[in-house]
Amino acid sequence: MACIRWCAMALAMAAVPAYAQQPDTAKLREEIKQLQQRLDELEKKQQETENTAVQAAQQASSRPQSESALNPAVSAILNGVYGNLQRDPDTYRLNGFVPTLGDVQPPKRGLSLGESELGFMANVDHLFRGTLIASISPDNDAIEVEEGYIQTLALSHGFTVKAGRFFSGIGYQNQIHAHAWDFTDAPLAMKAFLGGQLNEDGVQVKWVAPLTAVYVDLGAEFGRGRAFPASDRNKNGFGSSNLFGHVGGDIGTDYFWQTGLSYYSTSPQDRVYTDLDSTGTSVDNSFSGTSKLWVLDGILKWAPDGNATYRSLKIQGEYFHRKESGTLTYDTAGASLGAMTDSYASRQSGWYAQAVYQFMPAWRVGYRYDQLNAGTTTLGLVDSGALTAADFPILGAYNPKRHTAMVDWSPSEFSRIRLQVARDYARQGEPDNQIFLQYIVSLGAHGAHKF
Amino acid sequence: MRIFFGFLVFLLPFKVFALNVFACEPEWASLAQELGGDKVSAFAATTAKQDPHRIEARPSLIARIRGADLVICSGSELEIGWLPLLFTQSGNDRIQLGSPGYIEASQYVVKLEVPRVVDRALGDVHPAGNPHIHLDPRNIQRVADAVSGRLAEIDPGNADFYRQRADSFRDRWQTAIKRWQQEAAPLKGVAIVVYHKDFSYFINWASMREVGSLEPKPGIPPTPSHLAELVEQMKRNPAKVIVYSAYNNPGAAQFLSERATIPTVMMPFTVGGTDRAKDLFGLFDDTIERLLKTVK
């Protein structure tokens, strides 16, 4: 650089005497101007060379030297809870609804480590993307695959296909990992109708409509039916199916919405649950028949100018409606009054609505209301007089409900501390006051901002 | 059912023979429109009032990216929270990573602030360097070259048209850069406090000196204790100006401005950030003018 300057100056000086004799200073100026231009060009060229060199050096230094360059993105989610519950969480039940054998209990009393989550994600090749998310339960040392699926990248016309284990596209919140929920625990309706959260082993095909004014998708899932409301049936073909569709869009720059409808159907065989019969004996009862579940969901988000950094509001609600019909076998093991089978039919529903308001950066408050409607359950064994309603206490008509409020603080995008209080009327006649203090942090790969 | 499909057909847009460009940020939408003219229909996924880090992969964006022929994003992890989701949800093979239909603008420029140590304790750092590359006018030219090349590749029938537009843009842009260099000369060496590290490329281009940021760490909102430190720092070494972007809340900047008696000014940051920043030319005109007015 210095050399160029000096050379140019020397040239300029050399040029000066030659023209000094001539009175035409305009020409001299022109000459100097040209030299200046050449100088600028040279400097620019040198700058560019330097830039390229810097870039090359940067790329060389950032180029990893080992195979680890192609490691998938790895993330880990840690969460811990302090629970203060009026009633023993081990006795948790939703009166009026068939127990699901799912993960529906509230967190433990006292301090506990929640499920830790480990995620690996990467493009497999130019055709597929792979995702594996495992949850590690701290108490029974079990590792469970929450999601493990491949997804197509190379289909066109709005189609994507997913295969493996994934959170089923039933309703809205079922597809979201627990660490990204706005409350510590699942809505009662998810506990009653999906056994907490339903992940299915199956195939999903989704199509996004070629529209720009509004978002429309349609999809279908076919699965093995590995968990409630299905029963793993050990048969070829499909054990469960789910059809869904969504419509969504923006209203101006401040509002975003989406609504969806899904229809899940399965035919469980010998789906067992445990209850205390009229003699006080713990008996196994089992259901065989068809189970159909409709879920209607809606989300509305607001943020001034669509900028959720400072203030935002999210309103979310889902309505579940289930119809089951078939046969119920009482006391399959013959532990009490002996096995008996007759018809079973039920129509039940439930819903929740919640609002979460971010009133300043990092701080949010939220409220959720849960309501289940036990609807009608018709038991052939009771109608025929073979047994009484007292032999099926858990199915007795009762409408659970719950109030939940929370406040959380997220100092960065990667950490959140939440305080939640709830009054839970899940057990008939035994309301439960629950307080949870929870942290959730994420390590590694940047999380996705799902709508 | 028939009514339903009839409804769908009604919603289908009329077939227009224009390339659909999906730009993550308004500056790239503006550039694509500039380079593509009426052969291109550019959509900006974010506005100047939105923080491009904090966008969700919402339904309307999926609907838009599904039909995109070309996606232009800053890259370098600026859109990492939402763009990967849009890709997997799009069902569009033309715009996936490695396809001609995807341009990551920051790959075409020399990035500043490439961290030597990457750790979240340092805030939301981008391992590949600062992704807010568009406020150096020379970078716009580099990306323009890449974009016009891609337009010609994707739409070869109009390759000559794109080449002409590219030449015309280059002429006008180079002239504008010369003018801006002269106009921005008084900014040389001027000490500046920024809100977020989204102004670094301009500072580098104009040879200004960044002496602080309102965010204690990148991506962490301003805290009272950090602002108090800045007030002290400004007493010892005052900056000449505090800038924030159209998408930042002016509160923190005003707090510091009042206590340290340093003027504060809102920057358009990108196309659409102010009334004057209607296009890329207006963006630089307004940015330089606002700074000059305040620094004087």
Same fold: B16-179 with B185-295: yes
Query: ipTM, 2 decimals?
Result: 0.89
Q: What is the pLDDT of residue A62?
A: 47
Both structure tokens of A360? 């300043």
8 A C-beta contact, residue A125 and residue A112: no
Q: What is the pLDDT of residue A16?
A: 45
Locate the chain B residue with the closest alpha carbon to A362: B221
Burial zone of A141 (CB within 10 Å; 0-12 exposed, 13-18 middle, 19+ buried): exposed
Topology at the third CATH level for domain B16-179: Rossmann fold (3.40.50)
Contact list, A309 vs chain B (CB under 8 Å): 51, 54, 221, 247, 249
C-alpha B15/C-alpha B11 separation (Å) is 12
pLDDT surpasses 70 at A34 = yes
C-alpha A235/C-alpha A267 separation (Å) is 12
C-alpha B180/C-alpha B169 separation (Å) is 16
List the B40-44 sheet strands across, edge first.
Answer: B40-44, B19-23, B70-73, B102-104
Judged by CB atoms closer than 8 Å, whether chains meet at A414 and B67 is answered as no
Locate the chain B residue with the closest alpha carbon to A154: B93
* CA distance, residue B192 to nearest chain A CA (Å): 24
Judged by CB atoms closer than 8 Å, whether chains meet at B57 and A215 is answered as no
Q: What is the DSSP string of A296-357?
A: EEEEEEE-GGG-TTT-EEEEEEEEEEEEEEEEEEE-TT-SSS--EEEEEEEEEEEEEEEEEE
8 A C-beta contact, residue B234 and residue B207: no
pLDDT surpasses 50 at A1 = no
Mutation test of the interface with chain B: which of A153, A176, A205, choosing the one with the most B Cβ atoms within 10 A?
A: A153
Q: What is the mean pLDDT of chain A?
A: 90
Its pTM stands at: 0.87
Both structure tokens of A112? 């506990």
**B185-295 — its CATH code?**
3.40.50.1980
Mutation test of the interface with chain A: which of B61, B110, B138, choosing the one with the most A Cβ atoms within 10 A?
A: B110
Percent of chain A with pLDDT over 90: 78
Q: What is the mean pLDDT of residues B265-288?
A: 97
pLDDT surpasses 50 at A411 = yes
Q: What is the mean pLDDT of chain B?
A: 92
Q: What is the three-class DSSP state of A64? A: coil
Q: What is the three-class DSSP state of A446? A: coil
8 A C-beta contact, residue B238 and residue B276: no
C-alpha A372/C-alpha A294 separation (Å) is 14
- For residue range B100-135, list pLDDT tens digits in order: 999 999 999 999 999 988 888 888 888 899 999 999
8 A C-beta contact, residue A104 and residue A92: yes
Which pLDDT band holds residue A23 (cuts at 50, 70, 90)?
low
Name which residue leads in pLDDT, A411 or B15.
A411
Q: What is the three-class DSSP state of B247? A: coil
Every domain of chain B and the residues it spans = 16-179, 185-295
User: Which helix (H) or strand (E) covers residue B98, if one does?
Assistant: none
C-alpha A368/C-alpha A354 separation (Å) is 4
pLDDT surpasses 70 at B2 = no
Q: What is the mean pLDDT of residues A417-426?
A: 98
pLDDT surpasses 60 at A3 = no
**Overall CATH class of domain A76-444:** mainly beta
Every domain of chain A and the residues it spans = 2-58, 76-444
